[in-house]
Structure 1
């Protein structure tokens, strides 16, 4: 197995381990904290971006392996047609074994890359479904009167709610607009003070011309 297919196999094993981590039963608070860390960590976000690029290369390998399987299958069919006669069949025997070996490796690579891509889609969908389940369970706990599930008191619960994120973004925008207005007011106030200072300085120079000459 070449180096890049060995890396694809390692990625497949990592995906299987992550999938088991997503579906393994664990306490609600622990699962909620874990998903909060995954959704908010900048390191995880960078890792997900890198994985998207990696899966593009794996898709290219998958297309190439499918193409190789097709070509080997065509070559195998051609050998089967040319194997008429005992002598000819004996001569083609070694070639046929070599083609079958290439067919095996091509199919192995196709299955490896295909399952890796398919499992990546399953992981993404499973992650979104678990998030939905956590939000529903949080709301269910809140309706049952659990104070720990109150979204107004529980920061972890609010972080899982997309409505809370939208409200937080809107609140930050309002605060930025408020600060901008305060800055504009300070600028206008400083300009008014500067004008008053210039007017007072001009009046002082008019009423005290001697001080100006002395200076």
Structure 2
């Protein structure tokens, strides 16, 4: 394996280690501190910038390895079409072509998996940040909501009790008003009866007091 493919393999192992560290279950406070450090550290930002440039070169290697696999496959098909007279020579050439095919496919898979895992890491990192943000929001709402609910329930109960007391006071006042109206109506009725009796007395024979 050449030097640059060895570096690609080392990068693949590093990506696997990072992916395992991302999916390991950690306490919420530890995970929040870790991702806060990753998102705010200038060193990590420079590392990410360097990795983007590295992935561009790995993409070029991946395209080159795909091209090599295609060319080796064409050579292998041509070797199969050789005549039986040159079978011994063709056999050795075929083994060489098979070896080159193996190495080309290995390099293609190595670069392809490295690029694919980089996309998975990026998406996983974004999803974990979203989950942490939502968990913080849920904890904040759960921390404020019970107090608000208790306060609102107390205010509601106090409002209901005050409304009931106010209605009772109004009923008492209306009962008193009704009693006053009854007494006034009775007094008016007695006064009307007295005036009627006086009117009859003034028109006719006055009534004798018993």
Instruction: State the match for 2:6 in structure 1.
Output: 6
Q: Which has the higher contact order (CA 8 A, sep 6+)?
A: 2
Instruction: State the match for 2:54 in structure 1.
Output: 54
Deviation at 1:145, TM superposition (A): 1.0
Instruction: State the match for 1:25 in structure 2.
Output: 25
1:60-103 C-alpha deviation (Å, 9 max, x unpaired):
00000000000000000000111x32x32222100000000000
TM-score by length of 1: 0.66
The SS at the match of 1:144 is: helix
Give me the CA root mean square deviation. 1.3
Measure the CA separation in 1 of the matches of 2:100 and 2:16: 28
What aligned pairs does 1:167-178 form with structure 2 within 5 A after superposition? none
Instruction: State the match for 1:40 in structure 2.
Output: 40
The SS at the match of 2:143 is: coil
The change in CA–CA distance for 1:22 and 1:146 in structure 2 (over 3 A counts) is farther
TM-score by length of 2: 0.67
Measure the CA separation in 1 of the matches of 2:128 and 2:50: 23
1:158-213 C-alpha deviation (Å, 9 max, x unpaired):
xxxxxxxxxxxxxxxxxxxxxxxxxxxxxxxxxxxxxxxxxxxxxxxxxxxxxxxx
How many residues of Structure 1 are paired with residues of Structure 2 in the alignment?
Answer: 145
What aligned pairs does 1:23-102 form with structure 2 within 5 A after superposition? 23-82=23-82, 84-85=83-84, 87-102=85-100
1:22-65 C-alpha deviation (Å, 9 max, x unpaired):
11000000000000000000000011001100000000000000
The change in CA–CA distance for 1:146 and 1:7 in structure 2 (over 3 A counts) is farther
Deviation at 1:146, TM superposition (A): 7.2
Instruction: State the match for 1:105 in structure 2.
Output: 103
Measure the CA separation in 1 of the matches of 2:4 and 2:17: 20
The SS at the match of 2:138 is: helix
State which structure, 1 or 2, has the greater radius of gyration over its C-alpha atoms. Answer: 2
Measure the CA separation in 1 of the matches of 2:21 and 2:127: 14
Unmatched runs of 5 consecutive residues or more in structure 2: 146-210
Instruction: State the match for 1:118 in structure 2.
Output: 116
Deviation at 1:142, TM superposition (A): 1.1
Unmatched runs of 5 consecutive residues or more in structure 1: 148-215
Measure the CA separation in 1 of the matches of 2:144 and 2:2: 55
Measure the CA separation in 2 of the matches of 1:88 and 1:61: 35
